[in-house]
Structure 1
């Protein structure tokens, strides 16, 4: 087995490995890290594992933009070549690349799956974020109370309020630097609509974005998720977003363990969990 840097000639073989793997949005996020080396503050390195002249696995290491305290790592091995130590060899190669940087590694896994067991075996035991996707059809949501408003994505309050929400939603891995311009570039450009909740005159108490991918996804919540009244803010956001969708449309809701307001609203409304993920780290 030969571990070496990714080359442009490897593109097709790496694509074949990922295409033959599990269809999972979590793995799709990791696969997006593969690519040519990139330097600068948000550098990237990709390596491959070659056996008998064939690429059978790939791994990526990324210095992230929003959460720079740890490096993202993703490894994938072709299904036919698993359980032969190739994944561990790729991680060892990535650790060698990360040694000079000094930051610990983090990864996303599915709990109670081989990916989670593999991460634990490599020392990624600290759970930073425990998240799930909950789902409910749009017509199962009650009518909103009227405290929320659909607003334009370029409304300056959207970026500012989403920035507050994002900081509140990541207490265990806070972003070191997050400007409203960064929010617009990374989150608002992917959204098709936005909702703000203002139960009282003044600054919005919560924000939600509606994102269209394979389905419709809600992301957002209260800017103070543990405050009294936060579940009502989340409920109003959810109901207002749902009211904008066709009746039989499933709405997926992103819920992290820190988002107690959104979780409480989802449980109250009967949204059921359909997927579970964790961000784990060395330390």
Structure 2
């Protein structure tokens, strides 16, 4: 290998390596790479993670990490990045091989890997060459403010409401359970952990998760009947605003980043998602993720894209190995 005479020198991550790597790495090529760069950190055992750096003459030129996921325990997340002028020398393969060795000693016993990349990117090509295959596609979709007409709530024959829109506290047990049922139903391809309601709330609806608010659309409303949640949206505060004393509220015209979901098995989920999305996007733009497994939402998105009232701002592919013994 050119410039690496005795093979790459690999060592654990040290504080300051992020700054040193930025001297040889350009800006992140994709949003996925930027997110994974944030996961490069010193080794830890709670949750378990290992990060390695490849050096040439004492200069860091590549890094890679492998770590457990509290949500999806059957596979480990993995990421490798090499400075552009050092690619093709085997540094990435060497890092991945050592990371696999580290993973073999993980307490969970899980060794299968997964990663996320932009379609057609260097990261996807590397993952495929390493034996990982595509298991899920994902899009981030944006709907501009006022792009969708508001849809009236349905009524019973006597004129009383049959539907209702309600703001719910993010601590709502009802919302947490519907969200978790939804999440499990659309992630059968990467089986989620068996988590208690409190832990689910921490991961999706807490201040630590940057959850900002929640709104639900209920069907089956009637006299003395609160109705059932058919669709929900959880909004998330931009990370740069979260946690700072006196952090301002998001600007009125700021993009609302939301998690859109529905109650699995609810025949009214599709129309409810359309109604809720029109309401959310009435005054400000809305951005949300839709995976290939999210059939009702995918149908809504395809209709919006065909009508020219939505745009795809990011695409991703999750690549993974078969989960065995996890």
TM-score (normalised: structure 2): 0.78
Q: Are 2:9 and 1:2 equivalent residues in the alignment?
A: yes
CA distance in 1, matches of 2:31, 2:211: 17
Judge which range, 259-268 or 145-154, deviates more. Answer: 145-154
Q: Are 2:198 and 1:158 equivalent residues in the alignment?
A: no
CA distance in 2, matches of 1:184, 1:267: 30
CA distance in 1, matches of 2:286, 2:91: 38
The correspondence of residues 176-191 of structure 1 with structure 2, limited to 5 A, is 176-188=193-205, 189=207, 190-191=210-211
Structure (1/2) with the larger helix percentage: 1
Gaps of 5+ in 1: none
Structure showing greater Rg: 2
For 2:263, the equivalent position in structure 1 comes to 223
Q: Are 2:51 and 1:46 equivalent residues in the alignment?
A: yes
State whether residues 49 and 90 of structure 1, in contact with CA within 8 Å, keep that contact through their aligned partners in structure 2.
yes
> How far has the Cα of 1:120 moved from its partner?
0.6
Instruction: Work out which of the residue numbers 193, 203, 211 in structure 1 matches 2:228.
Output: 203
CA distance in 2, matches of 1:138, 1:239: 9
> How far has the Cα of 1:88 moved from its partner?
1.6
State whether residues 178 and 262 of structure 2, in contact with CA within 8 Å, keep that contact through their aligned partners in structure 1.
no
Q: Are 2:294 and 1:259 equivalent residues in the alignment?
A: yes
Q: How many residues align?
A: 275
CA distance in 2, matches of 1:11, 1:116: 23
For 1:29, the equivalent position in structure 2 comes to 35
Cα RMSD (Å) of the superposition?
2.1
**4+ aligned runs moved over 3 Å, structure 1:** 14-18, 144-147
Pick closer, same or farther for the CA change 1:272–1:32 going to 2, 3 Å.
same
CA distance in 1, matches of 2:23, 2:50: 20
Judge which range, 28-37 or 66-75, deviates more. Answer: 28-37
Gaps of 5+ in 2: 1-7, 154-163, 222-226, 240-254
CA distance in 1, matches of 2:151, 2:172: 21
Pick closer, same or farther for the CA change 1:119–1:141 going to 2, 3 Å.
same
For 2:91, the equivalent position in structure 1 comes to 86
